[in-house]
Amino acid sequence: MSSNLDRARSYEGKVGKQIPDGQKCVFHLTPEVGWMNDPNGFSLYRGEYHLFYQYHPYSSVWGPMHWGHQKTRDFIKWEQLPCALAPDTEYDGQGCFSGSAVEHEGKHILMYTGVLDRVEADGSHTIRQTQCIAVGDGVNYEKLSANPVITADALPEGSSGEDFRDPRIWKEGNTFYTAVGSLGSDGSGQIALFSSQDAEEWRFESILDANGKRYGKMWECPDFFPLDGKQVLIVSPQFMRAEGLEFHNGNNSIYFVGTYDREKRSFLRGEARSVDCGLDFYAPQTVETEDGRRVMVGWLQSWDNYMTPEDFLWSGMMTIPRELEIREGRLIQNPVRELENYRQKEVSCKGIRLSEQQGSLELDGIRGRVLDMIVEADVSRSASFTIHLAVGEGCETTISYEKEKGTFTTDRTCSGLKKDLLCTRSMYVDTKEGKLKLRLLLDKYTVELFVNDGEQAMTSLIYTPLEAEGISFSCKGETVLDITKYEIVLS
């Protein structure tokens, strides 16, 4: 073990104990201590699901990237494991960036981007991103002496050596494949495909897809997988311009449903769509479960709106893992079914008639900050319908439907923020014969909304005081509600 890795492990074990009990989320993965961003290495290994993540243990802001590590059997209860990778070689001394993992012959293979960033003797600045391998047993990992196993020299002429990262590794039969994001000769994103028989010597196969300056610039964190007879490519573009409500400015996560020609190693994509329309979602990664489901998790935070309270010794969390399927050409996502095993204290309110004259309506037993709530709303006679969350302490966050615009909007303006941050985001929604079905997950600081059985998702952070547990409902016109709420309890 290198001194850098040993130091990181000692630090996280010591300082993690200083975090107050009850401060962290209940059923969302958070780091032991320090900063967390992109999920990495989401994989099945020896019957357990491992999730690594970009990690800087020494502060609650981004720094030289390590790999944090946790595992689970059911995607809800997570076990903290020691830091898996630290920047400690020449080729990754300035960071072990994002990557992925696969099980092979009893070993756990991690593939990640190593970052070299140095000033040369002549004053010039060298930045290189290369792809590297570490092999381990689920706790300890050894970097290959052959690293880096892929350099930018293997890319088509004109491709960038500075922006070449985030390998997504998988196996088909006896062959390893990896899809890696890079900048092409036109200065926009492309996804390069490589193959290998041993995960050490790699051959360039093709450019799976290229941005063509259409969706942002660099395509980060690619994921490429079959689902329901189709092929899905997920990428996270940087420096993207908004296009109506479908995409937003800055860092997005988008997906394409298409077909994959394995002989030509080419992907024919369909229309681009947002993975999640909320304020805080980036860099999702998927795993195939033992029972054949495709499960996705994303980083529940934003690069452009840092909100972590100043007294927190940790920053960042992951979304609830979500089961994916294709329905009518769209990616459908719903919380993993295992979450239902932790539901307690059901409260059901049926046929609640809500009118504009009532103002904001509270219901007995419908409150809390750690919950799973299903709301079925007949909005056929409503001009608007609003759910008020985390109400109290002078705060609230709202999720509102507006019929004329056909939109849902999350608004955290009054959630307790003391900085001028982006607070609203909207998405178009379709009613089903005048009805909406909503599923809301709250976990202290998280709001995850799933609309119409997973047709759309909207994920956002709120750092409202935890004492603010009120929930109420209001509308313009008339709305009829069926509400079922559960507490989520991990015993």
Contact 43, 100 (CB under 8 A): yes
Rg (C-alpha) for the chain, rounded Å, is: 23
Residue 414 has what pLDDT? 97
Residues in the chain: 491
Segments of 23-106 assigned E as strands: 34-45, 48-56, 66-72, 78-85, 96-104
- The enclosing H or E element of 322 equals strand 322-327
Strand partners, 195: 177, 203
State the Cα–Cα distance between residues 75 and 27, nearest whole angstrom: 9
Tokens describing residue 240? 């993207």
CA distances from 292 to 20, 23, 303, 324, 392 (A): 38, 35, 33, 11, 43
The 3-class secondary structure across the chain, one letter per residue, is CCHHHHHHHHHHHHHHHHCCCCCCCCCCCCCCCEEEEEEEEEEEECCEEEEEEEEECCCCCCCCCEEEEEEECCCCCEEEEEEEECCCCCCCCCCEEEEEEEEECCEEEEEEEEEEEEECCCCCEEEEEEEEEEEECCCCEEECCCCCCECHHHCCCCCCCCCEEEEEEEEECCEEEEEEEEECCCCCEEEEEEEECCCCCEEEEEEEEECCCCCCCCEEEEEEEEECCEEEEEEEECCECCECCCECCECCCEEEEEEEECCCCEEEEEEEEECCCCCCCEEEEEEECCCCCEEEEEECCCCCCCCCCCCCCEECCECCCEEEEEECCEEEEEECHHHHHHEEEEEEEEEEEEEHHHCCECCCCCECCEEEEEEEEECCCEEEEEEEEEEECCEEEEEEEECCCCEEEEECCCCCCCCCCCCEEEEECCCECCEEEEEEEEECCEEEEEECCCCEEEEEECCCCCCCCEEEEEEEEEEEEEEEEEEECCC
Tokens describing residue 320? 């609830």
Tokens describing residue 124? 């010039």
- Positive/negative CA dihedral, 275, 183, 68, 45: positive
Active site residues per annotation: 38
Residue 123 has what pLDDT? 80
- Tens place of pLDDT for every residue, the chain, 491 residues? 899 999 999 999 999 999 999 999 999 999 999 999 999 999 999 999 999 999 999 999 999 999 999 999 999 999 999 999 999 999 999 999 999 999 999 999 999 999 999 888 888 888 899 999 999 999 999 999 999 999 999 999 999 989 999 999 999 999 999 999 999 999 999 999 999 999 999 999 999 999 999 999 999 999 999 999 999 999 999 999 999 999 999 999 999 999 999 999 999 999 999 999 999 999 999 999 999 999 999 999 999 999 999 999 999 999 999 999 999 999 999 999 999 999 999 999 999 999 998 889 999 999 999 999 999 999 999 999 999 999 999 999 999 999 999 999 999 999 999 888 999 999 999 998 999 999 999 999 999 999 999 999 999 999 999 999 999 999 999 999 999 999 999 97
User: Which domains are assigned to the chain?
Assistant: 3-335 (2.115.10.20), 341-488 (2.60.120.560)
State the Cα–Cα distance between residues 453 and 340, nearest whole angstrom: 15
Distance of CA 473 to the CA centre of its chain: 29
State the Cα–Cα distance between residues 263 and 466, nearest whole angstrom: 55
Tokens describing residue 318? 């992951």
State the Cα–Cα distance between residues 167 and 184, nearest whole angstrom: 16
Mode of pairing for the β-strands spanning 34-45 and 314-315: parallel
Contact 248, 254 (CB under 8 A): no
Closest-CA residue to 383 (of 477, 472, 474, 479): 477
Q: Can you tell me whether residue 405 is helix, strand or coil?
A: coil
Count of other CB atoms within 10 angstroms of residue 97: 24
Residue 330 has what pLDDT? 96
State the Cα–Cα distance between residues 25 and 27, nearest whole angstrom: 6
- Chain position carrying tokens 């007294």: 311
Give counts: helices (H), strands (E), the chain: 1, 31
Residue 27 has what pLDDT? 98
Q: Prior bond to 226 cis, omega within 30? A: no
Mode of pairing for the β-strands spanning 266-274 and 125-136: unpaired
State the Cα–Cα distance between residues 319 and 446, nearest whole angstrom: 8
Residue 201 has what pLDDT? 98
- The sheet that has 34-45: what strands, in order across it? 78-85, 66-72, 48-56, 34-45, 314-315
